Structure 1
């Protein structure tokens, strides 16, 4: 439950709190997580862990503790949002980015952490210590080199592939896209039914704001998991039976019918005991700022 609580807090920060000044009273956070069956102790433990990992910071105002995203947290949330709300695959410049490293055994923990970060950013494991991506990830790589202080152990290239195989052979060697297609199929099957059912109920006013908040957050939480397995390849490199775009369209349509009532519920909880009520004026729940065609 602990890891699940922390993951759900990330989702709520990204989908809600981030648009309201990034800061929330711990009591409001506990109240929101209660909607998903997470108790107060689980929330406090998860928040403590996120503090230690540098994702959030705390501040006291009177006898109240408020928690807000650090720069590291904001960067991660925005990077995730830009990818999760994208409806169409990237355009490709035809170049491959190659990151090669040899990290000594005594820095094994750094090597393991770096591997997870590279997977999250969409790199594929081409061979031992060699990671590739067709996407422009120079900025992300530079940040990783600084974060883990591994300048002495890595080399980074932007290159052309001239064979002897074709580009799709590189993709097959570096990623397991058939597994991603299966996961998208499961998502489409499950959420297309829910979307149709909830569309009717919401239109008839028979679904509460709290229920819409729970469903919207669960939807984002589930869809967010694709960030860890979908490398976000350009359309030229996707398999013929790619269903990621269908899933993205379904997600977007379902998100939009839940958006406004979900935001109303969040605001009702957030405003209580929060003297720092601050809403990003450009934020429109239905026209999400990160949704890109």
Structure 2
């Protein structure tokens, strides 16, 4: 099912020094490479032989040429760092990439786990940018979408949650003098056809995304729990379930349950994601270790599959580099 938002808005390129690959419809070789390295090397930033990365990507359907091109481009973008292991080349996540990915993983899990009480107020971000500043407008829209906002009207975006000081400062940097932020309750109107703030989100579309996720992954649970998914299949499934689930915090940014239909499937989707992602961690890690061992000179420490609990606890990240 296609996303109701453009990929540029979900994964914005906001001009920061590190540019992680954008998510695309289907499998992006760079995106799959980053997901694989994040899922199994993030905690220790272990370096993997380039041939092992190519072999793992081949199991995900990426050609040898496509895999080598993806690795080269990620290195040029500062996402990967290259080194030599004897006569072999090896790559690992850069410190900045590891820190960003760890923070992103924590955000994905935390934003769908914690129930946030709602005080009935809305945060409104209003902005006005002339037509010739279209790139700046796209960057602002992308950041607002990433922060969980949605457009109620053109140039007026809303969220049920308060804007953090850090996010407020970043938006001010993007559009100095062009943004106004305020927070308040909706005033009841007698006029027919007024638009409720929650209508900024297409609730029916979000629900269909949840239902598609539940239909796709629920039948797999018995095989996950019985250990019947192993090897490359475990790695592929774990990568796919993460790449699919990571969109939900943007699609449904902890919208208050009192504004949503009864039986909202957020919790069921979260529990299903954790069951698949965590349940496949051990067999997927074994397979990654086995593939790397074919191309390495001896043991490869630092390969470890993290769980949703690790992500939530913030135990997977490298510290960001010193300024």
TM range (shorter): 0.7 to 0.9
Query: Residue 132 of structure 1 aligns with which residue?
Result: 158
| 1:16 counterpart = 2:37 | no
8 Å contact from structure 2 (residues 125, 157) kept in 1: yes
8 Å contact from structure 2 (residues 54, 64) kept in 1: yes
CA distance in structure 2 between the aligned counterparts of 1:274 and 1:127, rounded to whole angstroms: 59
Query: Residue 262 of structure 2 aligns with which residue?
Result: 240
In 2 relative to 1, CA 136–64 (structure 1 residues): closer, same or farther, beyond 3 Å?
Answer: farther
8 Å contact from structure 1 (residues 87, 249) kept in 2: no
Flag as ranges the 4+ runs of structure 1 deviating above 6 A. Answer: none
CA distance in structure 2 between the aligned counterparts of 1:276 and 1:246, rounded to whole angstroms: 39
Query: Residue 160 of structure 1 aligns with which residue?
Result: 184
In 2 relative to 1, CA 153–286 (structure 1 residues): closer, same or farther, beyond 3 Å?
Answer: closer
| 1:151 counterpart = 2:182 | no
Gaps of 5+ in 1: none
SS of the aligned residue for 2:276 comes to helix
Give the structure-1-normalised TM-score: 0.79
Query: Residue 66 of structure 2 aligns with which residue?
Result: 42
8 Å contact from structure 1 (residues 23, 69) kept in 2: no
In 2 relative to 1, CA 49–290 (structure 1 residues): closer, same or farther, beyond 3 Å?
Answer: same
RMSD: 3.3
Match of 2:108 among 52, 69, 83: 83
Give the structure-2-normalised TM-score: 0.72
Deviations 1:167-203 (A, max 9, x none): x92112x111210111111111121111123433x1x
CA distance in structure 2 between the aligned counterparts of 1:241 and 1:287, rounded to whole angstroms: 24
8 Å contact from structure 2 (residues 58, 67) kept in 1: no
Deviations 1:107-136 (A, max 9, x none): 212212332232233111111111111224
Gaps of 5+ in 2: 1-24, 190-194, 314-323
Deviations 1:127-186 (A, max 9, x none): 11111112244223433443x4x22322233x1214126xx92112x1112101111111
Deviations 1:88-118 (A, max 9, x none): 4433344422222222322212212332232
